[in-house]
Amino acid sequence: MDPMEFTYKGYRTEIDFCAEDRVYFGKVLELNDLVAFDGQNPEEVEQSFHQALDEYLELLTTIQRED
């Protein structure tokens, strides 16, 4: 299965599927930090990507750092 790709707020990710665990997972690409997420289906993993990225960007604002 080819990885799915999503873009949100200018950030990209590739989503893979683990057949053994039956879970979709990914990480935000081109960041200095690791922002990973997962979900049970494509819609859930996309929502998880948005939530993880929003929380990461909020954290950067809180500590006054830019990526």
Structure confidence at residue 64 (pLDDT): 86
Distance from C-alpha of 23 to C-alpha of 21, rounded to nearest angstrom: 5
Helix (H) or strand (E) holding 25: strand 23-28
Rounded to the nearest integer, the mean pLDDT of the chain is 93
Distance from C-alpha of 61 to C-alpha of 27, rounded to nearest angstrom: 20
Q: What share of the chain is helix, strand, coil (3-state, %, to 5)?
A: 30, 35, 35
Residue 66 has pLDDT above 80, yes or no: no
Residue 1 has pLDDT above 70, yes or no: no
- DSSP for residue 29: S
Residue 2 has pLDDT above 80, yes or no: no
pLDDT (mean) for 32-50: 96
Domain range annotation of the chain: 4-62
